[in-house]
Chains A and B, each alone.
Chain A
Amino acid sequence: MGDHHVSMPADILPHLTVDAVEKRFGGVVAVDNISLAIRRGEIRSIIGPNGAGKTSLLNTISGFYRPEKGSIRFEGHDITHARPSEIAERGIARTFQNIALFAGMTVLDNLMLGRHVHMRAGVLASFVYWGMAQREELAHRIRVEEILDFLELQDIRKQFTSALPYGMRKRVELGRALALEPKLMLLDEPMGGMNQGEKEDMARFVQDVNQKFGTTIVLIEHDMAVVMDISDSVTVLDRGRKIAEGTPDEVQRNPAVIEAYLGAGHQAGAAA
């Protein structure tokens, strides 16, 4: 439940600080003056109706979108205008709402790619291979095998990811993010499109990662039961704005949140 964090000092600096960030697309304000302070080691869920700006917020943090206003700091470094690859090097990993695996590669190669920032072999060492590159390859292969074990993916390690069922691909993507040994993981609907059993597995893996490695987790999720179950805190977005924040209990009782969700529900009902 994340209650292992209670003993942490309250005055510790936030792990990730998003400060008054704005991201526009033409007339649409996808992210409207949003600020967040994510504590080190917490599981933070971000919820909100479709089009609320959740994915846009993650894209801004991971460097795909350049915000028009505001700043983003991670572990004391300003990463507002850093490239995605630099942000990965700093220890932020990410999964995508619509899965972005390397389809023509095996599960193993996808995870080996996840080790990229930890490997050193340059062009010459790779060309020669025997020696430094091979040693490195084998050392990182061992790390990858550990992750495969951890996520119960050993049996499919040699399969091409394009051949895997949807739920498995989501798990492989989590594995690739984990291979980076990130300090912060941004997960965009990791349980989206899954059946109940797969969701439970994924929720367990997310919690395990958080507890075993102390990884800070920012999670976008639509399934309220899962959100309330595993989050330490919840941020609610609606139409680009932050409308509520707090513990799962607080957020659930917040009238603005109920309104946003009921409103969306009414519209969906009316449209149907």
Chain B
Amino acid sequence: MFYRESGVFKTSYAADTALMPLPNTRIGAALAGVIFLAVLPMVFGEYGMSICNLILIAIVGAIGLNILVGYTDQVSLGHGAFMSVGAYAAANLVVRMDMPFWVAIPAGGVMAAFIGTLVGIPSLRIKGLYLAITTLAAQLIIEWTINHVPAISGGAQSTILMPPPEVFGVVLKFQWQIYFFLMVFVIIAMVGAANLIRSRIGRAFIAIRDQDIAAEIIGINIARYKLYAFAISSFYAGVAGVLYTYYLGIANYEQFQLTVSIDFLAMIIIGGLGSPLGPVFGAIFVTLLPILVRRFLETFGGYFMDYSTLAATIPSLRLAIFGSLIIFFLVVEPEGLNRLWRKVRNYFRTWPFSY
């Protein structure tokens, strides 16, 4: 997406700025399209598709966080809370006012963007650890507020039942239907983010990340652009929160707690900060890993521990694994899985000639 190559000559500036400048990329994208749109839904059953759906929702959220953390170099531990803002905003609209999904989803995004922008205001003064702590505080305050204000949370157990989305008169009940529904938003989210990054707004984000003094001197209003980054990032979070609510069939604040914020940070760090495909790899990895670990332990764990130890181990093991992976990727491989992917890709770019 963002690499160029000799031997492929551009004849216009438009071709030079295209999203996928190389024929190989376009072939790859077409191949991915066939796999994700035709092959996967044919080979997987309901359970397989439900995991794919979790991944798709995670991709939307991770792309958003990557814009804030990867491209603008701000930090947020409130991504989970911004998802919950979107989730409850949408659930209230749907349940109380009978709104269709195409109103509920953007509305959830806008509401989250509004709250996210407010939470981003301290970033104008502070950075790094201090910003992490203010966003952590925001996460906890939002959790508490939703849980304690029945007008938002619907009262009973802070849970609102969410009817499945209805598209052209069809109520989406099966996981494969939800899959195609989610895929539309994933594609919009990915293309939109790539567009942002290759144009004026995204360049300004990267400028702030790389050299904030120089960014100011060429006329970038740093305060304004930091808030844009918070707004865009939490808009994505809000949309992901609504999608998750449709997927689960309920809005519930426990689904959006601090661990979720940390999972999203893990995704973008493991996937590769500030790379277009990093959030995708990270979302796949972080979603699948606990499921595979659980599978493994449930199958083989019985040999070396009893069942109750096992049940207690799995959640903490998950955190331990993510913790170690975050440290590993931050220290050893800051470019994340995306770099692995680049190596594979570079190999195939010249294939079958290895020079």
**Partner-B contacts on A (CB < 8 A):** 62-64, 83-86, 88-89, 93-94, 96, 100-105, 109, 112-114, 116-117, 119, 121-123, 126-129, 133-134, 136-138, 141-142, 145, 158, 176, 180
Contacts and interface: CB of A to CB of B under 8 A. Distances in A.
A119 B17 CA distance: 17
A121 B210 contact: no
Contact of B218 (A88, A136, A138): A88
B107 to A, nearest CB: 16
A3 B4 CA distance: 46
A91 to B, nearest CB: 10
Given A103-B210, A127-B196, A138-B14, A94 B217 contact: yes
Contacts of B215: 113
A122 B204 CA distance: 11
A101 B17 contact: no
Contacts of A62: 217
A24 B261 CA distance: 44
B220 interface: yes
Interface residues of B, number: 31
Given A100-B211, A100-B213, A104-B210, A121 B221 contact: no
A85 B221 contact: yes
A84 B210 contact: no
B119 to A, nearest CB: 18
Contacts of B202: 126
Given A101-B211, A127-B195, A142-B13, A112 B203 contact: yes
A60 to B, nearest CB: 14
A121 B218 contact: no
Given A123-B196, A126-B195, A142-B13, A113 B203 contact: yes
A122 B231 CA distance: 13
B113 to A, nearest CB: 10
Given A89-B219, A126-B200, A126-B202, A105 B4 contact: no
A37 to B, nearest CB: 23
B204 A116 contact: yes
A158 B4 contact: yes
Contacts of A127: 192, 195-196
